[in-house]
A = this chain, B = another copy of it.
Amino acid sequence: MTVAAGENFDVQRYLARERRAIDATGARLMAEWLDDGATPVAAPICYALEAGGKRLRPILCVAAYRAVHGARGGAEPGMSDLGPEGLYEIAYALELIHTYSLVHDDLPCMDDDDLRRGRPTTHRAFDEARAIIAGAALIPLAARAAERGARRLGLSPDERSGLVRELLVAAGAGGMVGGQWLDLEAEGRSLDVDALESIHRRKTGALLAASPRLGGRAARAEARVLDALGAYGSALGLAFQIADDVLDLTGDTAALGKTAGRDAVLAKATYPALLGVDRARERARLEADRAIEALRQGGIASVELEALAHYAVERDR
């Protein structure tokens, strides 16, 4: 099953608009919390955050909020009002967690990567110690951003603590960090597709599943809808990861903004290595379709979320 996004929907324009709103939120929070750069560790934190990136996790969060809350006043699909600042603060918390994981993953003792988002990685621009410190410093900032956003949206105390807890659990030992661990354990061992999938479900999947769920929580979605958003995010996450593996193999360093062919150098198990490029692409599209089907099952109509599922597999970087 393949679902076409709305005909009038300009996904690149939509993504660019959202990225601007997300980056503006991040700049505002960091200026306030890092005292406009006067805080000692501000430089590598801002360096890591300002490197750009797709901002997929916050975009998923915001799109899910809009889908649940109901589109308001947009002249064309995907161009509805941005939504309240508190929502973008919750969304930015996801980017703070994601950026911390990238800074640590790039370290010499992990993936040892020199290039990220087209620039030297944080430990290359600064040094290892400063990259480790700055990466860890992003975690309390994320918890603060989520808590403040939830408060500004007027969520109840229980809704607020539930939302922050979900972010921290997704980021933590049973989620993203657990996936980093499994990834390390898998080094130098041959994996089958099931083992690889279980790593991805945690390492990138946990936070990608939490992203639309946090948007749903921000809009006070009922449990059934949250479950559908989680299933959507989880399938999209796997689609995204498989597409990433394919891009690492077939893309070029300049377009990707990170070193192409890195997985092969590290002898990492990947979908194209295990299945071949064509079957890996097919599998990614299947997961994108599953993501869209999860929305249908949950009664969620959203041009934006559908477009994001397609984008996850059809992007070229």
Contact = CB atoms under 8 A, between A and B. Distances in A.
Interface in A272-296: none
Interface string A37-51: 001111001000000
Given A39-B174, A173-B33, A182-B40, A129 B144 contact: no
A109 B136 contact: no
Nearest to A44: B181
A34 B173 contact: yes
A235 B168 CA distance: 33
Interface stretch (A4-12, A54-62, A157-165, A261-269): A157-165
Contacts of A169: 140, 144
A198 to B, nearest CB: 10
A15 interface: no
Contact of A147 (B132, B140, B161): B161
A143 B168 contact: yes
Contacts of A40: 173, 178-179, 181-182, 185, 202
Given A127-B109, A147-B161, A168-B144, A173 B139 contact: no
Given A45-B173, A174-B35, A100 B136 contact: yes
Interface in A110-140: 110, 127-130, 132-133, 135-137, 139-140
Which size bracket describes the interface of A in this complex? 35 or more
Contacts of A174: 33-35, 39
A151 interface: yes
Contacts of A181: 40-41, 130, 133
Contacts of A305: none
Contact of A165 (B128, B144, B168): B144
Considering residues A39, A45, A160, which has the most beta carbons from chain B within 10 angstroms of its beta carbon?
A39
A247 to B, nearest CB: 24
B140 A171 contact: yes
A191 B214 CA distance: 47
Interface of A: 33-35, 39-42, 45, 100, 104, 107, 109-110, 127-130, 132-133, 135-137, 139-141, 143-144, 147, 151, 156-157, 160-161, 164-165, 168-169, 171-174, 177-182, 184-185, 202
Given A140-B168, A141-B172, 16 more contacts: A39-B174, A40-B185, A41-B181, A104-B136, A109-B127, A129-B184, A133-B181, A133-B184, A136-B139, A143-B168, A144-B168, A147-B164, A151-B161, A156-B157, A157-B160, A160-B161
